[in-house]
A and B are shown apart, each in its own frame.
Chain A
Amino acid sequence: MKTLLTTIFLLISTFCFSQNKMIDSLENLIQNYKNKDTTYVNLRIKYVARKMFLTPADTTWTTYVNKTLAISKQLNYPKGIAISYNNLGIINHYFLSDPLEGLNYYQKSYAIFEKEQKFKKYEVGVLTNIGLIYYEQQEYDKALKSFKTLLINPENKSKFSTQFYIGNIYGDQKKLDSSIYYYKKALVGAEQNKHTIFIANIKTNLSIVQANAGFLEDALTSTNESLDLIEQHNIEGLRVTAYTNAAEVHLQNKNIEKAEYYATNSLKLNEALNSLSTQNTALKTLANVYAEKGDYKNALLTYQKHIVLRDSLINADRKLEISRKEIQYEADKHKAISEIEIERQKSIKNASLIGGSGLVLASLIGFVLYRRKQEAVSKSKEAEFNAKVSDTELKALRSQMNPHFIFNSLNSIGDYILKNDTQSASDYLSKFAKLMRLTLENSEKKEILLSDDISLLKTYMDIERKRFNSKFNYTITIDPNLDAENILVPPMILQPFIENSIIHGLAQKEGVGLINISFKTEKNMLICSVDDNGIGRKKATSANNKSIGMAITKSRIEIINKLKNTNGTVEIIDKTEGTRIDVSLPIELAF
């Protein structure tokens, strides 16, 4: 069972009682005021504060305050806007009994006041109203939060009232010690301010809490003091509650007579007020009084009345529950909506962040790729250029072979003619022409088949053999692992070495010489050897053997190495009898 704690509203949220005269003069002032400025707004606010509580049934208050609000908004006057919201909150809260809407307005108002330090004093009223709504809705934690914020507000001139409300909350929560503590603090403040009504109210509430806490004597003192004040000052708004509480306190003190007196009077007085909860509490106390007295019939009757009332009160509680749920729902909805909004803003922010960084990243990658491609292009261009240069160099070298070869051959023909051997000269000439044709044809090519090169070498050696009167024989051996039809070689690469062997090695040798030409593979290289049994290089050096052909061939191999990134070599081996040349070339397959 809820403890009956009462609050009489002392126009908490507004400012003071007024005299009719003052209100009338205000009314005149407003009517004669021509400008719609902040002064006008302030006058209207003052008027509402003075008159609204005097005529709560007047339904035009909403319209009036809304007009003030609209003007304030036009003027962009935050104080006017916020006070108007607060007043709309009061209208909805108290006059229209719509706590949900009321809370809404209070919060709008508080949101504006909260922003600026200069509005601290206005915060007091609106925060009190918010606290009270939460208290009524039994949202005690929220209510406590509001009131405790108020306790530290320096502009709060009536901290005792705040302490009183906190006492009420703790009382309802059955935190009786805390409740008593705050009531006592509130009492000190109220007595300092000589606020009689408040003192009476505090004492009435304190008495029932003290009774419930088991401090029966203290409770009795409090209740008597409160009743004295009510009698002295005719505080009618408090009387019913005070009587109800007094009945309960006396009942607990086993003073049945007094308990019955106060309970009965409470019920009598309540007929005019028709406060259900007060009536309910009074009935219950009275039923207990009758029971104590042994008047079981009346006890039962009263108790039945109490039960009926309780049930309807439970229904009222249920309504309260519903409205509380509604408030909770609205708050949740707002919270959810704002969370969604925050989330949306966040995701927009994130999306733009991701998009932005993605764009930056993409352009960065693009730039890097572009640079890389540029580099690759310039590299491949450079490589292409180098290849072209090398190709040209090779071609130049190959074409140098021809005149060199031509003049050697022309020398031979001249030799025949001198010897008057016309037939041989003619034969030689036609052979030479054939070789010339082949060389011209092949020197156009970078690479030819090994078999083609061998037949070219054969033609060459046949001619030379003829020229030197068969002073030498030759053999050509091909490693059976090698497919001469499928290996590519630079044309005539061996020719200068063979020429060297013939002219410098064998021509000066006594007797018939021999040239062995062989092709084999070794470690993925093609080894082409020219092996003669001539007089050897040492003896030959005396003769003028600065071979242009040899030099050209070496350059050719170097360029091929550069072009193909290989390591072809030319090796000259001096044997005891004769010389061997090993030319190693990378194996290049045609198919």
Chain B
Amino acid sequence: MIKTIIIDDEAHCSDRILSLTKQHPNTFNILAVIDTVDDALKMVPQLQPDLVFLDIKIHDKTGFDFLQELNDVNFKIIFTTAFDNYAIKAFKFSAFDYLLKPIDSDDFNHAITRLKSDLLHQNMGQQLQNLFKNLKPDQKKVITIPSLTGFETLKVEDIIHLEADTSYTHIFTKEGKSMVSKPIKFYEDLLGDNAFFKTHKSHLINIDHVKKYYKGKQSYVLMSNDAQVPISVRRKDEFLKHFT
């Protein structure tokens, strides 16, 4: 049984989550449904939940305020939000789970499945720090990638390039390479706004790390780690626009 707390200021939203949890018998032990940040700060440390469904806008405060004031976060968080592109991006960067309202039952089920396999890793400190960092507009972004032992943090600016390997992605930095079980498309969506460019179906590069460009029929770039990354014919013009 997963000890669960729902924090949301709107009753119909918490009701929806409740009804969705009911579809999973013998899975959830709902400890409380809380509708203010103040109550949550008092009750959460006492109740010691495994999982918190956390709304972002709670009256005049936010779910982030709650997390920041909490000394010790040793529970899983699933954010719930209606529409907040900025926050969603931060969740993705920091590898937090989130559900979009109105919550679709399929999405909910997926999230729960992921959660069950991952419940052991309880130390959220690093991941939360990354989240707060990514939420600040002018801060240099970091990405959190799951590792065998927990999470690994990579500065976006340190990422040299990414390469697809079926449904996995290799991420290359000057320290070496990391493998994530996410398709390259996920990172393309995540990093596309920054200095990243998809040169090829299975290659995403950081423009800032391009050392040399070799033109020709099979043009390619030499990255700062001396890796050669191909540029497909159709992406060449678009690629060169970044340098003019």
Contact = CB atoms under 8 A, between A and B. Distances in A.
Contacts of A486: 201
Interface in B94-137: 100-107
Interface stretch (A11-19, A430-438, A500-508): A430-438
Given A433-B102, A486-B201, A426 B16 contact: yes
B100 A433 contact: yes
Contacts of A485: 201
Contacts of B106: 431
Interface in B179-209: 198, 200-201
Contacts of A257: none
A212 to B, nearest CB: 96
A590 B188 CA distance: 14
A548 interface: no
B235 interface: yes
Contacts of A589: 234
A590 B199 CA distance: 10
A576 to B, nearest CB: 38
Which of B19, B101, B104 has the most chain A CB atoms inside 10 A of its CB? B104
Which of A427, A483, A591 has the most chain B CB atoms inside 10 A of its CB? A591
Contacts of A269: none
A429 interface: yes
B232 interface: yes
Contacts of B201: 483, 485-486, 590-591
Given A590-B201, A591-B200, A430 B232 contact: no
Interface residues of B, number: 16
B15 to A, nearest CB: 10
B19 to A, nearest CB: 8
A434 B232 contact: no
Interface in B51-109: 100-107
Nearest to A437: B100
Contacts of A437: 100
A484 to B, nearest CB: 11
Chain A interface mostly: helix
B233 to A, nearest CB: 8
Nearest to B102: A430
Contacts of B16: 426, 430
A174 B61 CA distance: 138
Contacts of A426: 16, 19, 102
A525 B19 CA distance: 48
B124 to A, nearest CB: 28
B158 to A, nearest CB: 25
A433 B200 contact: no
Contacts of B105: 427, 430
Nearest to A429: B102
Interface in A400-431: 426-427, 429-431
Nearest to A422: B19
Contacts of B104: 430-431, 433-434
A584 to B, nearest CB: 21
Interface string A572-591: 00000000000000000111
Contact of B103 (A430, A483, A590, A591): A430
A400 B235 CA distance: 31
A431 B102 CA distance: 9
Interface string A433-453: 110010000000000000000
Given A430-B103, A591-B200, 15 more contacts: A427-B105, A429-B102, A430-B105, A431-B106, A433-B100, A433-B102, A434-B100, A434-B104, A434-B107, A437-B100, A483-B201, A485-B201, A590-B201, A590-B234, A591-B232
15 contacts: A426-B19, A430-B102, A430-B105, A431-B106, A433-B100, A433-B102, A433-B104, A434-B107, A485-B201, A486-B201, A589-B234, A590-B201, A591-B200, A591-B232, A591-B235
Interface of A: 426-427, 429-431, 433-434, 437, 483, 485-486, 589-591
Q: When A and B form their complex, which 5 residue pairs have the shortest distance between CB atoms, in order from nearest?
A: A591-B232, A430-B104, A430-B102, A591-B201, A434-B104
